[in-house]
Amino acid sequence: MAGAGCAVESNAMLDLEILLQVLILGVTNGALFALVALGYTLVYGIVELINFAHGDVYMIGTFTALTVVLGAGLSRGSSPLVLAAFLLVALLLAMLVCALLNAAIERVAYRPLRHAPRLAPLITAIGVSFILMNVGLYWYGASPLRFPDVLPNIDLLQAAGLQTAVRFSTKDLFVLAITVPLLVGLNLFTTRTRLGKAMRATAQDREAAALMGIDINRTIGLAFLIGGALAGAAGFLSGLYNNTAWFQQGFRAGLMAFTSAVLGGIGNPTGAVLGGVIIGIVSAITDFYIDPRWTQVVVFGILIVLMVFRPSGLLGEQVPEKV
């Protein structure tokens, strides 16, 4: 009986370790969803536009980072100093390219339609999405690519002397070490800086903000610029973490990120982060315990149930007021 009890306890411990491992994976991927979701929520909170091209901007970020990594010939055997320098270049370049691309999309495709019926910018966003997908198709072809695995993959828990089957690797730490400061930095920017307060005022009441001297076009352009930069960072991190790049990767990531924004409360940056983490955890649990083919069914099932009982999302919507 004692042996049976030990076996049960051992199995329970193993189950707990597996759950913790799944949660680590979910939180890490959820942080990436949150970065992309913030782009959706910043734009929707100000202009009530669902930027369906945002997921493909994220894909362009991955491709930009991949170009730098391949061009520099980086590998795990590269000098740590050289590796760190080129990864920093790849991150900054991916953020810059995606920020400028998103701002250009707003200026060329969305701004002229700002006062048009809502269907017009919505169809335009879908059209821009297809254009960007074809740019990715031309860039690296139709087949999924392997993003070079250049990051050290050291188990930090084992390195700390903990005897556990749970792995928290340097790759997990790398993603969180970049994602968390970006999320905190965005929060500080929107709450402490003049431009951030202008964005919040524009989101609350665009007409009143204009009467107070706020440049509405510049503020909306800034929201697209910041959202694009965050998508570029997410694309860079996704490539390094998941080691894949594909011209259609923006569709699934964009869908998950938009779901995260709606789940947390569209237009609410804090809600986007919360929704991203929740979607990441739910996706990881479904992938492992059920089947990856059912992941989107479970995610959207949860979203539908939540929308039925709480249409404004977990933390509530923040959209322009109509007076």
Give 70's contacts (C-beta < 8 A, 6+ positions apart). 148
Q: How far apart are CA 319 and CA 203, in angstroms?
A: 6
Q: Is 155 helix (H, G, I), strand (E, B) or coil?
A: strand
Asked if the structure places residue 9 within a domain, the reply is: no
pLDDT score recorded for residue 200: 85
Are the C-beta atoms of residues 40 and 227 closer than 8 Å to each other? yes
**Amino acid letter, 139:** W
Q: How far apart are CA 150 and CA 140, in angstroms?
A: 20
pLDDT exceeds 50 at position 146: yes
pLDDT score recorded for residue 95: 96
pLDDT score recorded for residue 6: 55
Q: How far apart are CA 110 and CA 128, in angstroms?
A: 10
Q: What is the pLDDT of residues 216-273, one digit of tens each?
A: 899 999 999 999 999 999 999 999 999 999 999 999 889 899 999 999 988 888 899 9
Q: Pick the range with the lowest mean pLDDT from 41-50, 100-109, 243-252.
A: 41-50
Q: How far apart are CA 248 and CA 120, in angstroms?
A: 24
pLDDT exceeds 70 at position 319: no
Asked if the structure places residue 42 within a domain, the reply is: yes
User: What residues pair up with 155 in beta bridges, in sequence order?
Assistant: 169
Mean pLDDT over all residues of the chain?
Answer: 88
Asked if the structure places residue 229 within a domain, the reply is: yes
N-to-C CA span, the chain: 72
Q: How far apart are CA 98 and CA 105, in angstroms?
A: 10
pLDDT exceeds 90 at position 3: no
More confident residue, 166 or 86: 86
pLDDT score recorded for residue 323: 46
Q: Give me the domain span that covers residue 82.
A: 22-309
Asked if the structure places residue 10 within a domain, the reply is: no
Task: Please state, for a pLDDT cut of 90, what percent of the chain lies above it.
Answer: 53
| Nearest CA among 299, 297, 108 for reference residue 221 | 108
pLDDT score recorded for residue 5: 54
| Domain CATH code at residue 226 | 1.10.3470
> Strands 145-146, 244-245: parallel, antiparallel or unpaired by DSSP?
antiparallel
Q: Is 205 helix (H, G, I), strand (E, B) or coil?
A: coil
Tokens of 243: 């080691």
Are the C-beta atoms of residues 110 and 99 closer than 8 Å to each other? no
Tokens of 108: 């060329």
Q: How far apart are CA 168 and CA 174, in angstroms?
A: 11
Q: Rounded mean pLDDT of 64-89?
A: 91
| Nearest CA among 134, 67, 141, 73 for reference residue 97 | 67
Q: Rounded mean pLDDT of 291-318?
A: 85
Q: Is 48 helix (H, G, I), strand (E, B) or coil?
A: coil
Q: Rounded mean pLDDT of 25-37?
A: 93
Tokens of 59: 């894909």
pLDDT exceeds 70 at position 108: yes
DSSP string covering 256-273: HHHHHHHHH-TT-HHHHH
Burial 68-90 (b: 16+ CB within 10 A, else e): bbeebebeeebeeeebeebbeeb
Residue 317 — very low, low, confident or very high, per pLDDT cuts 50/70/90? low
Q: Is 245 helix (H, G, I), strand (E, B) or coil?
A: strand
User: What residues pair up with 169 in beta bridges, in sequence order?
Assistant: 155
pLDDT score recorded for residue 136: 95
Are the C-beta atoms of residues 249 and 262 closer than 8 Å to each other? no
Are the C-beta atoms of residues 216 and 210 closer than 8 Å to each other? yes
Q: What is the pLDDT of residues 279-302, one digit of tens each?
A: 999 999 999 998 888 998 998 898
Q: What angle do CA 243, 231, 109 make, to 5 degrees?
A: 130
Asked if the structure places residue 214 within a domain, the reply is: yes
Burial 279-301 (b: 16+ CB within 10 A, else e): bbbbbbbbbbeeeeeebeebbee
Into how many domains does the chain fold? 1
